Structure 1
C-alpha cells in the first residue's frame, strides 16, 4: 500500500478495507492532493482481489467539510482550462468510486458538506449519526454542485436534489435517511457499534456474489424492461449458479453448514 498524506488505507485481515479521510485539522476538506490520493487508493482497492468490501470514513469530528476553501481560492485565480482539469480530476474520483467492483459503505459523522455528499452518494450504502449535518452548500459561495450532481440525484431523487442544491439548507441524519442518502441513522453514541454490525453482516456474504450483484444492479439501472436486460439477467443467474462460490453456497445450504467464505474467515 502507498503512503498517503491526506488518507489512511487500512486492510482488515477479515477481508475488507477502511479508507479514512485524514485531514482532521482541516475537517477532512478536499484539496487537489486528497483528490489525487483518493484516486490512487481506490485503484489499489480495485486491484486487490482479497477485499470483499470497502468502508469509507472520516477521521475526527467530521466526515468532510467539502472543498478546502484555501484550495478553492487558489482555483478561482486560475484560468478556465486549469479549472476544467481540476473538475475532471474530481469527476474521475467520483466515477471511480461509483464503479468500484466491490460494495462500498460510507460512515458519516459531523459535517458532510458540498463534495462530501458526492462521496456518500457514490457509495452503495451509507449510515450516519442522527446529529450529522448534510448540506449542498455550493450556492452559498457562488458555485454549483456540478460534478457530484448525477450521483446526488441518483441517491435522493431529482426533486429533493433541486430543493437542497438551490436552498443550501442543512439537514440531519434522520432526514438523510428519509431521502435515501443514508440507509440508517443512529444516535451518535451507537454509531461505532452499528458499524461493527454492518461489517459483520457483510462478511457473511459470498464475495463473488456481492460483486456479481453490484454488476447486475448497475446494468438494471432504473429497472426499465427491455429484451436486452432480460437476456443479461438470465445470463447473470446462470453464470453465478455454475461459479465456484455459487456451487459452494448451494451445497452448504443443502448440507446445513456454513459456506467456506464464513468458515474460513480469520478470527481476531
Structure 2
C-alpha cells in the first residue's frame, strides 16, 4: 500500500501573470519552527528565485496561527555534542538564510498572519517590506534561553535602531502589531480577513516598477544607508543616475511618460489583470 508523500517544509508558488512568487512555511503543527531542513529549503528556493528572469516580488508567508516561532531548540540542543567546526557550520546555515533574504535582488514582502518570535522576527526584519494582521506579536526570547540573538541582530538593529533593539533583546517583551507599526518594523497592519488583499495590493504596486529599476533601487538604498552625505556619496549617486538613465529601459520609460502612455512592463501587468 502506497503512502502519500510528506509535504515539503516550504511550498513555492509562482504567479506568472503578476510576476511574483510566494514562499510558504508549511509546518503549522510545529508553529513553523526553523530546523536544518526548513532553513535549507528556504535558502535554496530564494537562491533559485533570485535568478528568475522577470520575477519582481517574493512573498514570504506561513500556514497556521503562527508565522514562525523561531528555531527548533531540539536542533540547537544537538550542538552541545558537536565539534566547534560543526557548530559553526550549523549556525552559518541560518546566517545564510537571513542574508539571502536581505540580499535578494527581488523585493521581498513578509506576510505575517501570526506571531513572529525569535528567528521568526529575524525573517521579518530581513525582508524589505512587512505587512501583518493586527493581532500578530513580535518577540525575542534568546536571553531567557541562555543564548544570544546573534544571527538576527544585524537585521533587527538595521530595522529598529540599536536602542530599541537592546530593549527588545534584553527584556524579551513582546511588541504588538500596532507597536511594531509605530516603530517601523511593520509597514502596514490590518484585520486578519484583509491580509491577503493588502499584500496583493502591495505586490501590484511593486510589479509596476521596471524590471531593471526594482533591483537597482534596492541596491541603491543598501549602498547609501547609514552613510553621511559626503562628496563621495553625492558623486556615487550622481554617477549612478547618469549611467542608469542612458540605458534602453530607462529611455523607453521616459519616452512613455512624456507621451502619457504606459511603458511596456506596465502594459503587460495591466493586460494580465
| CA displacement at 1:123 relative to structure 2 | 0.9
Aligned equivalents of 2:40 and 2:137: distance in 1? 26
| CA displacement at 1:38 relative to structure 2 | 1.5
Closer, same or farther in 2 for the Cα pair 1:4/1:38, shift >3 Å?
Answer: farther
Checking the alignment, whether the CA contact within 8 Å between 1:4 and 1:37 is kept in structure 2 is: no
1:132 aligns with 2:121: no
Aligned equivalents of 2:268 and 2:229: distance in 1? 39
Q: Where does 1:210-221 land on structure 2 (aligned, <5 Å)?
A: 210-221=214-225
1:99 aligns with 2:103: yes
Aligned equivalents of 1:260 and 1:30: distance in 2? 41
Write out the 4+ residue segments of structure 1 that deviate beyond 3 Å after TM superposition.
none
Aligned equivalents of 1:110 and 1:259: distance in 2? 38
2:254 corresponding residue in structure 1: 250
| CA displacement at 1:133 relative to structure 2 | 1.2
1:71 corresponding residue in structure 2: 75
Aligned equivalents of 1:239 and 1:132: distance in 2? 43
| CA displacement at 1:80 relative to structure 2 | 3.1
Checking the alignment, whether the CA contact within 8 Å between 1:212 and 1:240 is kept in structure 2 is: no
Deviations 1:61-87 (A, max 9, x none): 211111113222323343433221111
2:61 corresponding residue in structure 1: 57
Q: Residue 267 of structure 1: which of 241, 248, 272 is its match?
A: 272
Checking the alignment, whether the CA contact within 8 Å between 2:54 and 2:211 is kept in structure 1 is: no
Which range moves more in the overlay, 193-202 or 155-164?
A: 193-202
**SS in structure 2 at match of 1:207:** coil
Closer, same or farther in 2 for the Cα pair 1:37/1:180, shift >3 Å?
Answer: same
Aligned equivalents of 2:50 and 2:243: distance in 1? 22
1:7 corresponding residue in structure 2: 10
In structure 2, runs of 5+ residues without a counterpart are 1-5
**CA RMSD, 1 decimal:** 1.6
**SS in structure 1 at match of 2:212:** helix
Aligned residues: 266
| CA displacement at 1:98 relative to structure 2 | 0.8
Checking the alignment, whether the CA contact within 8 Å between 1:56 and 1:106 is kept in structure 2 is: yes
Q: What is the TM-score when the length of structure 1 is the normalising length?
A: 0.94
Q: What is the TM-score when the length of structure 2 is the normalising length?
A: 0.92
Aligned equivalents of 2:74 and 2:44: distance in 1? 23
Aligned equivalents of 2:54 and 2:11: distance in 1? 18
| CA displacement at 1:203 relative to structure 2 | 1.9
Aligned equivalents of 2:219 and 2:209: distance in 1? 16
Higher relative contact order (CA 8 A, sep 6+): 2
1:27 corresponding residue in structure 2: 31
Q: Where does 1:158-237 land on structure 2 (aligned, <5 Å)?
A: 158-237=162-241
Aligned equivalents of 2:166 and 2:259: distance in 1? 52
**SS in structure 2 at match of 1:242:** coil
